[in-house]
Amino acid sequence: MDDLRLGVDVGGTFTDLVALGGGDIITAKVPSTPLDQSEGVMNSVRTAEIEVRNVAAFAHGMTVATNALLERRGARTAIVTTEGFRDVLEIARQNRPSLYDLAIDRPPALVPRELRFTVRERMGPEGEIEALDEGSLEKAVAALKEAEVEAVAVCLLFAFAHPEHERRVGEVLRAELPDAHISLSSEVLPEFREYERFSTTAADAYLGPRLAAYLSNLGSEVEGAGMPEPLVMQSSGGVVELSTAASGAAACVLSGPAGGVVGAAYVAGKSGYRNLLTFDMGGTSSDVAPILEGEALTTTESTVAGVPIKLPMIDVHTVSAGGGSVAWVDAGGAPRVGPHSAGADPGPAAYGKGGEEPTVTDANLFLGYLQDGATLGGEVTLGRERTAEALERVGGEAGMDALKAALGVVQVANTEMVGALRVISVERGLDPREFALVAFGGAGPLHACSLAEELGMQTVLVPKGSGVLSALGLAVSDLRRDYVTPLLASLDDLDRKDLESTFGELEDRASEDLDSPEFHRRADLRYGGQSFELMVEADDAENLEDLAARFHDAHERRYGYRMDGEKVELVNLRLTATVSVEKPGLEESEPEADAERGRRKANFDGEWTEVPVMDRTRMGRGSEVEGPAVVEFAEATCVVRPGWRGRIDEVGTLILERENA
């Protein structure tokens, strides 16, 4: 195929590839290579046997930044801040991870106290109060050189509104420390609230050197192979150029999960579904997100690995329940799952690579949902005998045999994932019964029907490329940039002209960065006296009263009440600029004569049943399946529970419906 759009997503366990062109989909799944993830990227291209000269565009999502935060393996980072504000990162907010646990503490700050330095200066709401003292800046630079830091976050008071001092500090640091990564809060996050601004900027500096080194290496590998320079997925759901991603690491911490949400919205939209809950279950974790009217919801209130990052991100909630999550028994004798994962190496006990602890994958294999002897990623062969031994060991600690242990592991994992889906639906004021569940990732379709039953949902969508849907989302992602500027004012006192001129300034900046972008306006609003805001659409608001009405509606949906008589305050204006990419169509072929590849025993709710095993590659447009059954995709397996039936639609999505719907 010519003019291929290529997407490659690096996960914790597998690296996925999708190439789109001419209505066809080429897919590949290979084990990830944690020591050098670019090696896994190139392995996936070779496995797919793609002619690199036919690749017209290449988009990439990865877990480099995410893993660096989770494992606290970023750069040696320092902070330069206003005198008297050295401990903002430590003081943080008064909220605690567990309100009634007096012994628990927050994760340590990314920058230890000995690497936080100050300069004498002061900006206020109206501008300069005290000039920047060059002598204190010289001392800070000398201390930074002595500390041999790799990155510096510059976070001065009121720099979001008056960045002059911060820019001067950044200018000196870039001249004196040419090898260090320098992040300015006025460039990373020009918003008020010191702690969130400091935290986001510190994360950007902390992650910058590692992400830049990885992307530089990847760029060289890709260029050497004769492919286009990669575009990189941001947490907000759009791609940016390699250089932009390397200089804005904090915007890429949810790069991989964002691709899955974009892919789910695209494929489900082709099938006529626009209100969705997405469920992406991989080897290490499960990610869930809401989609309303075909658009992924974004938030600026994300916390990743205990670090608040106040940049626009797709509203993804993650739990540590993946196929590789390890099962264990707690002190009370109850089965538990995660957060520890067997990862790609050694992996679950079934892999036969040295892992001895049972995982969710082992439980699914023992229950007959996965095929004994099946090959994953072209390199891993599942073995049920190894799984049984591992389940016997962990089950013995709780007085259970292997079967009860397997059922318990699956149920505990399902409970974790149902809880995550409730967070992004019920806790957002959304009724999951009014949504379809899109299941993807290598393990997502195995659990989808069970989760839908728990939530009262009637429809499950399993896309044709469900095992590699994050990579598909990358291949169809638009170029995107996000901009924000503070504008603190009551809507009653604000002049509409001020609103338009401020949006106009953001649009001018976007037009310099992108070629003929489309604009999407949003505003952060709150009731007077509230501590935090809600983001509302501002595109077609003809007057400020429209903005206020939208805020009242959003507040009622989120919190269950509204205060129509209260003044509404504007806090920030946001602009999203996008350049659409060509999105190839999806087409499903006619089915082959017989899609049933055989039968095997599977256990549903404690009862063994012989079920048909369907080969998805032989199914086609109009093919039907009735539960209980197992449908084996190229990169995933779907369990159709009793009481469910489905069909393949015109774009290749398996649409499952509960029979009592």
**Contact predicate 228/57, CB 8 Å:** yes
- Asked whether residue 340 carries a pLDDT value surpassing 90, the answer given is no
Closest CA to 169 of 78, 98, 235, 282: 78
**Contact predicate 29/442, CB 8 Å:** yes
Q: Copy the structure tokens of residue 16.
A: 């996925």
CA 237 to chain centre: 9
> Hey, which bits of 442-585 come out as E strands?
459-462, 479-490, 518-527, 534-537, 568-579
Burial per residue of 498-518, b for 16 or more beta-carbon CB atoms within 10 angstroms, e otherwise? ebeebbeebbeebeeebeebe
pLDDT of residue 521: 94
Interatomic CA distance for residues 468 and 540, integer angstroms = 36
What element of type H or E holds 56? strand 55-61
Q: How many CB atoms lie within 10 A of CB 15?
A: 29
Phi-psi region of 540 (alpha: psi -120 to 50; beta: other; left: phi over 0): alpha
pLDDT of residue 20: 85
Instruction: Kindly report which listed range (16-25, 226-235, 359-368, 529-538) carries the lowest average pLDDT score.
Output: 16-25
Q: Can you give the three-state secondary structure of 232-289, one letter per residue?
A: EECCCCCEEEHHHHHHCHHHHCCHHHHHHHHHHHHHHHHCCCCCEEEEEECCCCEEEE
Interatomic CA distance for residues 530 and 49, integer angstroms = 56
Report residue 379's pLDDT band, with 50, 70 and 90 as the boundaries. Answer: low
Interatomic CA distance for residues 411 and 605, integer angstroms = 10
Interatomic CA distance for residues 515 and 158, integer angstroms = 32
* Helix 444-455 × helix 402-423 angle, to 10°: 70
- Asked whether residue 342 carries a pLDDT value surpassing 80, the answer given is no
Please give the DSSP secondary-structure letter assigned to residue 23: T
- Asked whether residue 29 carries a pLDDT value surpassing 90, the answer given is no
User: Of the ranges 95-104, 148-157, 556-565, which is most confident?
Assistant: 148-157
- Asked whether residue 333 carries a pLDDT value surpassing 70, the answer given is yes
pLDDT of residue 48: 87
Cα 388-393-397 angle, rounded to 5 deg: 135
Mean pLDDT of the 96-108 span: 78
- Asked whether residue 168 carries a pLDDT value surpassing 90, the answer given is yes
- Asked whether residue 661 carries a pLDDT value surpassing 70, the answer given is no
- Per the listing, tokens 């509404």 go with 568
Please give the DSSP secondary-structure letter assigned to residue 61: E
With the C-alpha atoms ordered 311, 157, 112, 210, is the resulting torsion angle positive or negative?
positive
Contacts of 220 (CB under 8 A, 6+ apart): none
Query: In a 3-state reduction of DSSP, which class is residue 394?
Result: helix
Q: Please list the residues that pair with 655 across neighbouring strands.
A: 461, 647
Q: Give the type of residue at 386.
A: R
Interatomic CA distance for residues 251 and 273, integer angstroms = 29
Interatomic CA distance for residues 27 and 18, integer angstroms = 5
Contacts of 396 (CB under 8 A, 6+ apart): none
Mean pLDDT of the 437-447 span: 93
Please give the DSSP secondary-structure letter assigned to residue 359: B
- Asked whether residue 92 carries a pLDDT value surpassing 70, the answer given is yes
* Structural domains of the chain in order of their starting residue, each with its CATH number: 70-210 (3.40.50), 325-412 (no CATH), 479-579 (3.30.1490), 596-658 (no CATH)
Report residue 344's pLDDT band, with 50, 70 and 90 as the boundaries. Answer: low
pLDDT of residue 2: 63
- Asked whether residue 183 carries a pLDDT value surpassing 90, the answer given is yes
pLDDT of residue 284: 77
**Contact predicate 16/471, CB 8 Å:** yes
pLDDT of residue 522: 94
Please give the DSSP secondary-structure letter assigned to residue 311: S
User: Of the ranges 41-55, 79-93, 530-544, which is most confident?
Assistant: 79-93
Mean pLDDT of the 79-92 span: 94
Task: Indicate the pTM of the whole model.
Answer: 0.88
Mean pLDDT of the 111-120 span: 96
**Contact predicate 319/416, CB 8 Å:** yes
Interatomic CA distance for residues 529 and 532, integer angstroms = 9
Instruction: Kindly report which listed range (81-90, 266-275, 430-439, 461-470) carries the lowest average pLDDT score.
Output: 461-470
Query: In a 3-state reduction of DSSP, which class is residue 39?
Result: helix
With the C-alpha atoms ordered 39, 40, 46, 52, is the resulting torsion angle positive or negative?
negative
pLDDT of residue 149: 97
Q: Please list the residues that pair with 526 across neighbouring strands.
A: 569
Interatomic CA distance for residues 221 and 217, integer angstroms = 6
Distances in whole angstroms, Cα of residue 600 to Cα of each of 142, 449, 597: 70, 19, 10
Query: In a 3-state reduction of DSSP, which class is residue 656?
Result: strand
Interatomic CA distance for residues 423 and 417, integer angstroms = 10
Closest CA to 123 of 175, 87, 81: 81
- Asked whether residue 102 carries a pLDDT value surpassing 90, the answer given is no
pLDDT of residue 77: 97
Percentage of the residues of the chain whose pLDDT score is greater than 70: 98
pLDDT of residue 462: 96
Q: How many CB atoms lie within 10 A of CB 563?
A: 13
Mean pLDDT of the 607-626 span: 93
Closest CA to 273 of 434, 159, 55: 434
Report residue 350's pLDDT band, with 50, 70 and 90 as the boundaries. Answer: confident
Mean pLDDT of the 609-626 span: 93
Query: In a 3-state reduction of DSSP, which class is residue 40?
Result: helix
Interatomic CA distance for residues 384 and 447, integer angstroms = 19
**Contact predicate 332/339, CB 8 Å:** no
- Asked whether residue 1 carries a pLDDT value surpassing 70, the answer given is no
- The string of DSSP letters for 74-110 reads ---EEEEEETT-TTHHHH--S--SSTT-TT--PPPPS
Contacts of 18 (CB under 8 A, 6+ apart): 6, 7, 25, 26, 27, 465, 468, 471, 472, 474, 475
Q: Copy the structure tokens of residue 500.
A: 């338009």
pLDDT of residue 451: 96
Instruction: Kindly report which listed range (209-218, 398-407, 409-418) carries the lowest average pLDDT score.
Output: 398-407
Interatomic CA distance for residues 143 and 201, integer angstroms = 20
What element of type H or E holds 626? strand 624-626
Interatomic CA distance for residues 422 and 546, integer angstroms = 30
Provide φ and ψ at 460, rounded to 5°. -125, 135
| Average pLDDT over the chain, rounded to an integer | 90
Mean pLDDT of the 154-176 span: 96
Pairing of strands 629-632, 637-640: antiparallel
Q: How do residues 523-569 score in pLDDT, each as one tens digit?
A: 999 999 898 899 999 988 778 888 999 999 999 988 889 999 899 99
pLDDT of residue 630: 95
pLDDT of residue 139: 97
Provide φ and ψ at 93, rounded to 5°. -110, 170
- Per the listing, tokens 């004012």 go with 489
pLDDT of residue 277: 97
Q: How do residues 267-289 score in pLDDT, each as one tens digit?
A: 999 999 999 999 999 877 888 99
Percent helix, strand, coil in the chain, to 5, is 35, 30, 35
